Amino acid sequence: MEFRLELQPQPLDKKMQLRDKIFLSGSCFTEHMSAKLSNHKFRILDNPHGILFNPVSLAQSINDCIIARQYTVEELFEEQGIWSSWSFHSRFSSADRNTALTNMNNSVQEAHHFLQASRWLVLTLGSAFVYELSDHKIVANCHKVPAVNFNKRLLSIEEVQATIEEMIYKLHIFNPELNIIFTISPVRHLRDGLIENNRSKAVLLHAVHHLVDKFDKMHYFPAYELVIDDLRDYRFFAEDMVHPNYQATEYVWQKFAESCIAPESREVMREIHKINAARVHKPLHPESDHHKSFLNKYFEQTYALAQKFPFLDFNDEISYFSNAI
C-alpha cells in the first residue's frame, strides 16, 4: 500500500557539468541551492541584488546585470540614518551613502561578467504580489518603511509573462549559450494570507509554464511541487510553518541533482562530499596515529582530485589537511 505519491522530476536533456558557471537569482530558497552547489565546487554567483521575491524586481536585476548598470547617489534614499536602494536587498544598505553605493555597483559589475560567461541561469520566483511607490515603481525590498508608503497588488499572469519574456530576449542577445531553469519557491508567504498565497503561486506557475513551452533552453524544476505535493507534511517545515526545513531542502537538492546535474559530475560530487565531511570531522584523539593516517588519506584524495580536475578549487582543503598532518 502506498501512503504518498513521489514526484520524479523530468531529467533535463542537457545537464549541468562541474565546469559550468551557474548564475542564480530569486527568493531565499535560491540561497539554499546556491550553498549546495558551492559546497560541491560549482562556480556560482547568486543574488547580486540580494534576495528578490517578485518577478518584476528579479527581471530588473537581470537586466541591470546585462547592461552593467551603475547606480547614482540620487537613486538612494535615507531612512532612519540608513542609505538604501529600492532595487536592492537591505544587506547592501549602509549608514554611509558612498559605501552602500559602491557595494551595489561592484556587485552588479561582477555579476555582469559572470552572467556573460555562465552556462546556466536558475531563477526562483517567490510571490506575484508587489509593492509600489506613489510613482508606480515596484520595489524589490520595502526596507521596513511604513506600509502606508506603498500600494500592494497582485500581478496579472500577462504582466509576469511580458516582463520575463522581455528579459529572456535580452539574455538571448547577451549570452546565446545560456540555459534557464525556472523554479517556484515552496516558501509560503503567509503575510499575504493562505488564499492569497495560493493565488500568487498560481499566477507564477501559469506564467512560467507558458514561457518554458514557448522558448528553447527553458526548463522548469518542480521545487514547489516536491515540497507541497510530494512531501506534503508540516513535519518538513520549520517552526514558523512557512520555510521548508533541513530535511525538505535536502530532499529537493537530491532531486535537483538527479534531474539537472550530469551523472559523471555527480560521481565527483560524491567524492567532494566525503572530503567536506572529513574536513569538519572532530576526532576524539587528534594526536593519534590513526587520525594522522585519516588526514593523510584525505589529503592524497583531495590532491588527486585537484590534479584530475584543475578547474576545481581545492586550495583550502589541501592547505587544511597538509597543515593538520
Torsion region of 178: left, alpha or beta (phi above 0 gives left; psi -120 to 50 gives alpha): beta
Q: Look at 284 and 56; give whichever has higher pLDDT.
A: 56
pLDDT at 83 over 90: yes
Question: How large is the angle between the packed helices 246-260 and 263-279, nearest 10 degrees?
Answer: 140
Query: What stretches of the chain adopt beta strand conformation (E)?
Result: 21-26, 43-46, 77-79, 82-84, 120-125, 129-132, 151-154, 179-184, 218-220
Give 216-243 pLDDT, tens digit per residue: 999 999 999 999 999 998 899 898 888 8
The pLDDT value given to residue 229:
94
CATH of domain 21-261: 3.40.50.1110
Lowest-pLDDT range of 57-61, 111-115, 191-195, 304-308: 191-195
% of the chain with per-residue pLDDT over 90: 87
pLDDT digit string (tens) for 3-19?
A: 788 999 999 999 999 99
pLDDT at residue 1, rounded to an integer? 64
Domain range annotation of the chain: 21-261, 263-325
Residue 284 predicted with pLDDT over 90: no
pLDDT tens profile 150-190: 999 999 999 999 999 999 999 999 999 999 999 999 998 88
93 three-state secondary structure: coil
Residue 270 backbone phi and psi in degrees, to 5: -65, -40
Residues 27-43 pLDDT 10s: 988 899 999 999 999 99
Q: Are strands 179-184 and 120-125 parallel, antiparallel or unpaired?
A: parallel
Question: Could you tell me the pTM of the whole model?
Answer: 0.94
- Strands in 139-256 per DSSP E: 151-154, 179-184, 218-220
Arithmetic mean of pLDDT, 59-67: 98
